[in-house]
Amino acid sequence: MTLDQLAQQIPLIQAQHGLLDVNFDTECIYYLGDLSSLLQRIADECLPELSIHIQEALSADETQFVATLTSDEASVVFTAPTDDDWLPDGFFELLETLPAAFGSDKKLYCINPAIGLTGQEAWFFCGTEAQLHAARQAGLPLVFPGEDFLETDEYRKYNDE
């Protein structure tokens, strides 16, 4: 299967396994409010059943945008540097913890960025662990926690073509 064929199959796999998704540019933080807008969109699209409130401010030294997500159950803080428009390295690992932090049994896993399907965009899928594993078995090239995305079968498959 080529990357073009995979791109056509993804919506079918997503629908078959009842997954929600969100994709976004990883070079997207320019001004105060951009980080919280991104996080609100992710929450709205992937965790619509949760009531998550988001506030953003500058750090005291004005070197970081600080977005705080809160609910009755938890609080999670994301930061991004004010002098760079790329999302910071730890952003994606923290993002994957959001469902559990707010009491959901869902997981957030991303498409393997190394296969060349998404460019500088990140594409996350949300569902239960069982749904996400079944979708991966069906061909959705997800990266699971602890995996090296350069060592996955999908990476080898799409980079050998």
Report which DSSP code applies to 4: H
Share above pLDDT 70 across residues of the chain, in percent, rounded to a whole number: 99
C-beta separation of 102 from 50 below 8 A:
yes
The per-residue pLDDT for 161 is 55
Task: Evaluate if residue 160 carries a pLDDT over 80.
Answer: no
Q: pLDDT class for 157, splitting at 50, 70, 90?
A: confident
The per-residue pLDDT for 117 is 79
- pLDDT by residue (tens digit) across 39-64? 999 999 999 999 999 999 999 999 99
The token duo for 113 is 């960025």
C-beta separation of 154 from 119 below 8 A:
no
pTM listed for this prediction: 0.92
Q: Does residue 108 or residue 146 have the better pLDDT?
A: 108
- pLDDT by residue (tens digit) across 76-126? 999 999 999 999 989 999 999 999 999 999 999 999 888 877 888 999 999
Among 46, 12, 68, smallest CA distance to 126 is for 46
The per-residue pLDDT for 131 is 98
Q: For the chain, what is the mean pLDDT?
A: 93
Q: Which residue has the tokens 């949760």?
A: 50
Q: Does residue 38 or residue 154 have the better pLDDT?
A: 38
